[in-house]
Amino acid sequence: AQTVTQSQPEMSVQEAETVTLSCTYDTSESDYYLFWYKQPPSRQMILVIRQEAYKQQNATENRFSVNFQKAAKSFSLKISDSQLGDAAMYFCAYRSLLPTFGNEKLTFGTGTRLTIIP
């Protein structure tokens, strides 16, 4: 079974600065998807960014980008120009691509709480 590890329970960053959240995962598969979800105080889970394992190019969505290191099984999230609205819990998640019953589900890490300091 796959596991996802987020080793930073809490992080803080000054407004307008850059912060990187870490995520590592364990899998024996070669094809999969990785995601970062944001959960603000409203509790709503919001997809921030996704990465397909077969793509070497790191995904980017506006101020959010990832550093995907497939060999190291690492998938970090970089937030540039941090804003107060970025304050939230961030979850890393893994999804298998194997067409096997039960592989459709996401496996989540335990999350990183990000605080933005004004």
Partner 1 sequence: NAGVTQTPKFRILKIGQSMTLQCTQDMNHNYMYWYRQDPGMGLKLIYYSVGAGITDKGEVPNGYNVSRSTTEDFPLRLELAAPSQTSVYFCASSYSGRPNYGYTFGSGTRLTVV
Give the binding site for partner 1 (CB under 8 A): 9, 33, 35, 37, 42-45, 47, 50, 52, 91, 93, 95, 97, 101-102, 104-106, 108-111
When the beta carbons of 33 and 74 are compared against partner 1, the nearer one is 33
Q: In sequence order, what are the residues at sequence separation of 6 or more whose Cβ sits closer than 8 angstroms to the Cβ of residue 46?
A: 37, 38, 39, 40
Least spacing, CB of residue 96 vs partner 1, in Å: 9
For 61, other C-beta atoms within 10 Å of its C-beta total: 12
Cα(118)–Cα(91) distance, rounded to whole angstroms? 23
Q: Which two tokens stand for residue 26?
A: 């364990």
**CB of residue 78 vs partner 1: minimum separation in angstroms?**
19
Q: Pick left, alpha or beta for residue 104 (phi over 0 → left; psi -120 to 50 → alpha; otherwise beta).
A: alpha
Q: Shortest Cβ distance from residue 71 to partner 1 (Å)?
A: 21
Nearest to partner 1 of 11, 97 (CB atom):
97
Which residue, 63 or 105, is less far from partner 1 as judged by CB? 105
